[in-house]
Chains A and B, each alone.
Chain A
Amino acid sequence: MSTPVLETENLVKVYGRGPAQFHALKGLTFGIHRGESVAIVGKSGSGKSTLMHLLALLDEPTSGVVALDGRPVSKLKPKVVSALRNETFGFVFQQFFLNPHQTVLENVTLPLKIAGVPRAERDRRGMGALEQLEMADKAKNRATDLSGGQKQRACIARALINNPDVVFADEPTGNLDSATSETVEDILLNLQREHGITLVVVTHDEDLAGKCQRRLIMQDGQIVDEHTGVLPAGAGRQRRAAPHGASRPRRRILPFGRGARR
């Protein structure tokens, strides 16, 4: 594989001070390669989101290093970090975070607006991204008028609008029903393959995790296991011997079964 786009070394994150201190990440060292799809899986509270925030330069580690394209980012000025996020990263959130007062197109083009791209070009690229996700006909709708799946597709369009190197997705299917989840999963993974985008996804969803090339299993702020290779479709189903059907029940990767979702 090529050089890692994201690397960490002995990454530690401690919340709070004194006796109330909580070690959310306990020294993680790993790399994510360009064009790779990586799933971070684990129980609720195991530190997945914390890790993703550090990788996405939304937060700073207590100690340790995050490097982007081989360059440590800890010494960069906030303004530079903001610009990096704007130009290099795309974000998909479980809660969508679409602005209800704006149209779908305006929501999708927000990163370009922040980047200072002129309106006409914004709209052109926004329509392009929406077409890719078969959402062009919803461009002028209010974001609140969309179904859950449509909302998440709008979010994916927003994450892709700036041609990012890395897309971070925190529980992207967490608020979707299983059929819609399947569609969104396929969209994300197809985009990752076709555009060579690096995909970092935090998830409980066994199917989604299985579709990624690598899985980092987290427990209590540490990576306890790592699986490589796309799991064959239905691999989890065989284990559970769930019935076949159009609407498959949601499954979770063992050992994080019930109650794993927050």
Chain B
Amino acid sequence: MKSVDLTRSALSNTLRSKLRTALTVVAIVIGAFTLTLTSGLGAGINQTVDRVFGGFGVEDTIYVVPQMEAGAQEQDGPPEYDPEAGAEVDSGFRTGMLSATDVETIQELDHVAGVDTEVAAQLEYVQTTGGNQYQAQFEYALNDVLAEYAAGGAPDRSSMEATVPEDWLEIFGAADPEAVLGETLIVAAPNAVGQITEVEAEVVGVTQGTLAGVGFSPIPSVALAEEVAAVNADGYEGQLPESYIMAAAEIENLAENEDTVKAALAEEGLWGLTVEDQIAMFEAVIDAITWILSGFALIALLAASFGIVNTLLMSVQERTREIGLMKALGMSRAKVFTLFSMEAVLIGVMGSVAGIGLGLIAGFVTNGLLTADDGPLGGFAELSLFGLDPLAIGGIFLLILIIAFLAGTLPAARAAKKDPIEALRYE
């Protein structure tokens, strides 16, 4: 039998008992639909992340933090006290902060062109000129490059400037972001004994929150953050050791030296991360969630595959004589097997095409509704919850065909094995 005839026969056979085929197809549709949605969700969020981080010109920076709980896994109980370890070194390490020595070490590493540091800045409140006082904390000053700006831009790192999030417009009585630029934000910093010092900063930008969590709080300039930190440190007895939350090391030719610098940092008990690493970590979480959700969809598909087995077994049973006749008239086992496998694959094709189509429609429509400007998730800049990943769609299609084919092998083998004499036995 020619393949075109096999295909045509398989198609007309599947369409013969329409209701039964339709019900089997529906089960596949449900699995394909769910898989399309879950993979689309992962693709959408990952595409958003790529888009949000993609435009930054900070590719030559490695962000450095202390290695947290270094060796925690191998360790039982608290580490032993080491009198040799100096107070200064310790000051940064145990508190999860970088010490001045750490920063110096980073500076002296090969390929490091410069280091910016992030100090911890504690706020009591913020205030508009002549307005109310509001509770607030600063975003990292070094995150200025990661933010999305609705108006203005990043603060000049050496001036007393800051940005405010988009939803703060109302406390300035402004309707559109441009109107806030140039306003003054009064920042109240407490010292060690709770006395307040007010520092004035000019608003130079309005941020939109991104999925990376940047832009939901005011971003200070580096100078402003340091000023506030200086106030915070004021009033301590003696000298409070310098400490930093994070350092941003600018690397010469990052692409080539990334691994060398990271290894050198690790040797010093420090942990270096590029923006790309952070995206990768974020996407790894998204991917993990996607896989878990897809796991449920796969279970649905598994159930559907038993539907195919069942349908085709019934079909083989009903068509015993037809199979017997075809074999008696010289159809080989292999062709009979192919005919029935093809029926299974056709059911898979129908189910996956319908399911993927519906999944894409549902995904894009829901995404449109949720992330519209006035939708429930409209507040996130550039958020899309659903994306088209042609590779994933192709993969789903192929996966379903394979599952359908495998489900078809049992009935197909049974059909191929039928003895023509038994099948044609007169009754």
Contact = CB atoms under 8 A, between A and B. Distances in A.
A101 B12 CA distance: 9
A258 interface: no
B426 interface: yes
Scoring B326, B329, B331 by chain A CB atoms within 10 A of each residue's CB, the highest score goes to: B329
B51 interface: no
A111 B329 CA distance: 6
7 contacts: A79-B333, A82-B330, A97-B424, A99-B322, A99-B325, A110-B329, A115-B330
A113 B5 contact: yes
Interface residues of A, number: 28
Contact of B421 (A58, A83, A99, A115): A58
B54 interface: no
Given A99-B322, A101-B16, A113-B5, A85 B330 contact: yes
B328 interface: yes
B329 A93 contact: no
Scoring B325, B328, B426 by chain A CB atoms within 10 A of each residue's CB, the highest score goes to: B328
Interface in A105-143: 110-111, 113-116, 118-119
A42 B331 CA distance: 31
A102 B324 CA distance: 16
B253 interface: no
B2 interface: yes
A119 B5 CA distance: 8
A59 interface: yes
Contact of A114 (B16, B321, B329, B421): B329
Interface of B: 1-2, 5, 12, 16, 321-322, 324-335, 420-421, 424, 426
Contacts of B330: 82-87, 111, 114-115
Contacts of B331: 82, 86, 114
Task: Give the top 4 A-B pairs by smallest Cβ distance, nearest first.
Answer: A86-B330, A85-B330, A114-B331, A82-B332
A79 B424 CA distance: 20
A97 B421 CA distance: 13
Nearest to B5: A113
A155 B282 CA distance: 70
Contacts of A93: 424
Given A58-B328, A116-B1, A118-B2, A97 B333 contact: no
Contacts of A262: 426
B326 A114 contact: yes
A196 to B, nearest CB: 22
B426 A86 contact: no
A243 interface: no
A115 B328 CA distance: 13
Nearest to A87: B330
Contacts of B324: 97
Contacts of A87: 330
A99 to B, nearest CB: 6
Given A85-B329, A101-B16, A119-B5, 14 more contacts: A53-B421, A56-B328, A58-B328, A58-B420, A79-B332, A82-B330, A85-B330, A87-B330, A91-B328, A95-B426, A113-B1, A114-B329, A118-B2, A262-B426
A114 B1 contact: yes
Contacts of A85: 328-330
B319 to A, nearest CB: 9
Nearest to B332: A82
Contact of A86 (B5, B329, B424): B329
B333 to A, nearest CB: 7
Contacts of A78: 332-333
A112 B330 CA distance: 10
A163 interface: no
Interface string A48-71: 000001001011000000000000
Contacts of A118: 2
Contacts of B16: 101
B426 A94 contact: yes
Nearest to A56: B328
B10 to A, nearest CB: 13
A101 B9 CA distance: 11
